């Protein structure tokens, strides 16, 4: 018998480590503490893998997510992403969600629909062509959130960023966002300074 680290045990089961962690917390699979790490018996993992109650026996319900950065055009890119995901599908495609907007933008309509479908457990896997289609930053947090609901993220082409033009657009978007916030902070400071000065003037007038 071998005691497996969480990442290795999760890989054998074909699930995300956060999903395995939740199973351990729910008492679905035994584990042993080795220091501050949970370890899983290779025997228990194999039994879980073969067991009829294993989560991996759930129907494979796929949500395909495709995104382009521009608000217009790039229809062919959306279609190409969808075609690649459909061609490699191994389950039931429940929904294709299309988004137009920077990967730096958190409040995207399409991403919000993905979050809603994940939270109501109407899908078991979210599939994208590249990781940065889902988000430029914070994909790890999204994966952990999805894992809480038993949903995994599959990337067709791992570790490959989008084109140079989109990276440039994201950079401009990032600079614009920070510039706007900085301008707003300066404007607020100026308003407070003017109010303070006007108050001081009023005090001086009353003293006179």
Enzyme catalytic residues: 69
Q: Decide if 2 contacts 39 (C-beta within 8 A).
A: no
The 10 Å Cβ neighbour count of residue 44 is 17
SS3 state at 71: coil
Q: Decide if 100 contacts 68 (C-beta within 8 A).
A: yes
How many residues belong to the chain? Answer: 208
SS3 state at 67: strand
Please tell me the number of Cα atoms within 13 Å of 177 on its side-chain side.
10
**The dihedral sign for the CA sequence 109, 117, 15, 24:** positive
Question: Distance between CA atoms of 19 and 53, rounded to whole angstroms?
Answer: 15
Tokens linked to 195: 């109010």
Q: Decide if 54 contacts 45 (C-beta within 8 A).
A: no
């Amino acid at each position: 018998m071998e005691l497996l680290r969480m990442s290795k045990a999760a890989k054998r089961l074909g699930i995300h480590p956060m999903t395995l962690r939740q199973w351990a917390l729910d008492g679905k699979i035994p584990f042993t503490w080795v220091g501050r790490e949970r370890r899983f018996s290779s025997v228990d993992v194999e039994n879980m893998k073969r067991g009829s109650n294993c989560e991996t026996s759930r129907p494979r319900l796929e949500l395909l997510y495709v995104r382009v950065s521009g608000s217009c055009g790039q229809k062919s890119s959306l279609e190409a992403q969808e075609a690649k995901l459909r061609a490699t599908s191994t389950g039931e495609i429940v929904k294709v969600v299309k988004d137009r907007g920077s990967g730096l933008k958190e409040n995207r309509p399409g991403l919000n629909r993905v979050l809603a479908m994940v939270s109501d457990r109407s899908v078991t896997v979210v599939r994208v062509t590249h990781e940065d289609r889902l988000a430029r930053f914070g994909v790890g947090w999204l994966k952990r959130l999805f894992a809480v609901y038993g949903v995994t993220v599959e990337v067709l082409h791992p570790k490959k960023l989008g084109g140079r033009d989109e990276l440039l657009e994201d950079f401009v978007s990032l600079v614009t966002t920070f510039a706007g916030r900085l301008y707003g902070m300066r404007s607020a400071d100026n308003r407070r300074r003017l109010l303070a000065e006007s108050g001081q003037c009023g005090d001086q007038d009353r003293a006179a």
